[in-house]
Amino acid sequence: MYGLIGKMLSVEGAREELLQIMLGGMGEMPGCLSYVIARDPADPNALWITEVWESRELHQGSLQLPSVQETIGRARPLIAGFGERFETEPVGGFGI
């Protein structure tokens, strides 16, 4: 399995709008076992995205899906940047 944990930073004051775009764009993503978006309680402009995939290749392929491309296009003006990014090797747990 392939895991990814990343911090996304919104432009000042746009976190909730960005969050809604990201949640609304969550459609069928073959190979995705878990996709969680969370607010950062210490940073009013930050979101954490935690993903678990069957493989790195399926994650990469998802970036080409029309629904994902549309979500990225809608979100791009609200994204100020990215923070920490961690790749992991999930081995099991609830919801996987």
Using CA atoms in the order 63, 68, 71, 72, what is the torsion angle rounded to 10 degrees? Answer: 10
pLDDT score recorded for residue 93: 84
- How far apart CA 38 and CA 32 sit, in angstroms, is 17
- How far apart CA 42 and CA 45 sit, in angstroms, is 9
Domain tally, the chain = 1
pLDDT score recorded for residue 24: 85
The CATH number that applies at residue 75 is 3.30.70.100
Tell me if residue 62 falls in helix, strand or coil.
helix
Range of the domain at 60: 2-88
CB distance 86 to 7 below 8 Å: no
- Token look-up 């949640």 returns 23
pLDDT score recorded for residue 95: 74
Flag whether 94 is in a domain.
no
Flag whether 67 is in a domain.
yes
Segment holding 85, helix H or strand E? strand 79-88
pLDDT score recorded for residue 35: 92
Flag whether 93 is in a domain.
no
Low-confidence stretches of the chain (pLDDT < 70) are 96
